[in-house]
Chain A
């Protein structure tokens, strides 16, 4: 499959990522480059050390929080809906619905529009503005959950499952593993909406990003550090309480302070029971910040591009299905995006 005739000369797929030639910029480059367009703040998409970073103001804030203010020499904020033009290329952004600040990057050049959606989702997320459909010629999609087995259930029902489990074991604490950017805050909002008003105890790794969400007027309720009590010793005050942290926190001595925890993990991968089992998860929460299979297909129908390029994840199945539907599609086989890990 060849690239669209008119993109051959100005878009290239390189080891660093998708390269927009007249702009001399890469989209989500996996190693430091002169000029980077960043879709969102997750570490595998937003890396430190680029010369110039073009991203939404929130993504730039998040990168500064994670890497320090010197994460780039020059940052160029591009809020949703605003435009930036250089060498006949117009760049703009639209909400991707993935995490706070996440954007689809829209590139227009000589009458052709390319949209790099980055990671995105269509399902309900109280912390975000929803995904915006931007019709285009070339749509670059992820495929993290690009298999027909992925039908993410309603996150509200998933939280209800957790609440039932807590009622069954009132003496136990409850640890929810969740990715520090986006997932953790979304789960907190869902807990609040389910009527949980107690303080949520958080691992230190969540602090900065939760503070940032709250500074953006996203109300997460009372959060307390889960560091009370003695290291390595179970803290009885945490019985019956919800504690949140990155999934990796469970491996450390930090977790020893949790009294007999119900282990929960909020992730799209929890759809596969063997995965949940493997991680020792007792209460899997199928809550994902990515599009599931029906939403990937629906989004491509909505955007209706002339060509669909698939960046990372389970691209083989999506490529197959799109081709079967008579769409022009190709897998870019980009490396370096950690679709298998924390999501």
Chain B
């Protein structure tokens, strides 16, 4: 744990990706046994300790101090694990740095809830503060040390001199503490393979299309499709059954039982999950009723139907078709989809455009269809590769909507932003019985630079009118230009509307709040 907590601290404080990579590589080379495997899983977020959740940590915290002091401390520190690691009473017993992750994880995995709490107390009493912090971070998941699962895989590739593509391909096949992976990397066994299993394959991703790309590339080389506003999914069918995966590789089959019925076909499909039926599309809001759920009842399936609009194929039968060019994969896909149940599967049709000007017009028209976010361009001769490959797939989103809104409230962020007012509630004007008032219409916490964030923080501190815990009310005088993807009716919000992905576009220090948007202008954009 000593080595691992040191690694986490190094990762947290290294500003540079390459330094983080170097820290990971050196740790991977020296860590041993299952401490290495469980450490990797803790960092990638794949470690599951069922009995240790935020709730238990909060219970532990309340035994360490009183409620008021805990609340004030948590508000200040902004991170539960760190707060508890700092608040934990100084122990009478001598400290011990010799607990291994391997032992900690295996004990927690076997323990009942009560035993787990007992172990946690024991460790917290005996560990130095940084290890307490690492233990609590590990136990609650979400280390937030600025390492993505991808960076960890890169580090593994580097530490064991393997190709990153191979690591990516193997990743969905293995589980912590990754015996198969390390055995293969150390030359003791064959590479794990997906044969006969329904597992996620790394997705091919698109780059945003830049102005220069339009000059660089000939449009006729690309297959054009609409960019549907749903959720990217992958469907894998094998002897193991049919499984549906999210963009990040999470198994979401349970939420969509209608899509994972036996298909009489084996292979892997790539596509977009959309609400409604192929004949009658629902909105993204409708889709959200089904996303992020553990299951779906019969009535939900009937009331909120979904289907998969397929746009690529990775495998059919036992044949991996990823190396074929898109123009050869498309006919295979077409044949496969034709035999699948038509209520739940259809084909993403191509779009015809004579040239860039023609396509620009088509893209601008997307604004009229809320379910189309823009267009996709895919190299007709390209194979299906993992990741974002330059010049292969492009997404060309329609322009976002914009509105000038007034900052009404600000809240301190968490983690890196824990002492900065970084989360803003923004308002538009509305006419009410009592006159013209500002009503909140959006919350935004991105789109500004670090320098702008410091200025915003100063503005909030200088113009606070009231404090409610971590929230400050500010004088309504700062106007920000907000970009957003779309706006919907929402009975849950006082204003009656909710924006999708609102973010800062520009801070209008120059603008008077009287000139901010009126709610009626926003209602006009509702889809």
Contact = CB atoms under 8 A, between A and B. Distances in A.
A31 to B, nearest CB: 18
A284 B418 CA distance: 17
B26 to A, nearest CB: 10
B86 A320 contact: no
B77 A277 contact: no
Interface string A320-334: 110010000000000
A24 interface: no
B416 A274 contact: yes
A280 B73 contact: no
Given A273-B12, A277-B13, A320-B68, A148 B73 contact: yes
Contact of A272 (B14, B72, B90, B418): B418
Interface string B162-199: 00000000000000000000000000000000000000
A278 B9 CA distance: 14
A317 interface: yes
Nearest to A282: B13
Contact of B76 (A272, A276, A324): A272
Interface centre among B13, B82, B133 (most CB of A within 10 A): B13
A274 B415 contact: yes
B66 A149 contact: no
A128 to B, nearest CB: 26
A147 B13 contact: no
Given A148-B65, A149-B76, A314-B72, A282 B418 contact: no
Interface in B50-109: 65-66, 68-69, 72-73, 76-79, 82-83, 86-87, 90
B35 interface: no
A278 B86 contact: no
A282 B68 contact: no
Contacts of A272: 76-78, 82, 418-419
B293 interface: no
Contacts of B419: 272, 274-275, 278, 340
Given A148-B87, A324-B66, A276 B72 contact: no
B344 to A, nearest CB: 46
B204 interface: no
Interface string A274-290: 11111011111000000
Contacts of A282: 13-15
Contacts of A284: 13
Contact of B68 (A150, A274, A314, A317): A317
Nearest to B8: A273
Nearest to B454: A278
B63 to A, nearest CB: 14
Interface in A286-332: 314, 316-317, 320-321, 324
Interface residues of B, number: 28
B121 interface: no
A151 B129 CA distance: 10
A314 B76 CA distance: 10
A318 to B, nearest CB: 10
A271 interface: yes
B463 interface: no
Given A277-B13, A278-B416, A320 B82 contact: no
B29 interface: no
A110 B46 CA distance: 69
B467 to A, nearest CB: 11
Contacts of B82: 272-274
Contacts of B388: none
A147 B418 CA distance: 15
B107 to A, nearest CB: 26
Interface string B133-150: 100000000000000000
A274 B79 contact: yes
Nearest to A321: B69
Contacts of A149: 73, 76-77, 83, 86-87
Contacts of B420: 278
A149 B65 CA distance: 10
B12 A147 contact: no
A268 B398 CA distance: 49
Interface in A119-149: 147-149
B80 to A, nearest CB: 12
Contacts of B79: 273-274
B489 interface: no
A317 B72 contact: yes
Contacts of B65: 148
Given A149-B87, A272-B418, A274-B415, A317 B73 contact: yes
B450 to A, nearest CB: 9
A278 B146 CA distance: 13
Contacts of B14: 282
22 contacts: A147-B72, A148-B73, A149-B73, A149-B86, A150-B86, A271-B86, A272-B419, A273-B9, A273-B12, A274-B419, A275-B419, A276-B13, A277-B415, A277-B416, A278-B420, A280-B15, A282-B15, A316-B72, A320-B66, A320-B69, A320-B72, A321-B69
Given A151-B129, A314-B76, A317-B72, 18 more contacts: A147-B69, A147-B73, A148-B87, A151-B86, A272-B77, A272-B418, A272-B419, A273-B12, A273-B133, A274-B78, A275-B419, A277-B13, A277-B415, A278-B416, A283-B13, A314-B72, A320-B72, A324-B66
Interface of B: 9, 12-15, 65-66, 68-69, 72-73, 76-79, 82-83, 86-87, 90, 129, 133, 415-420
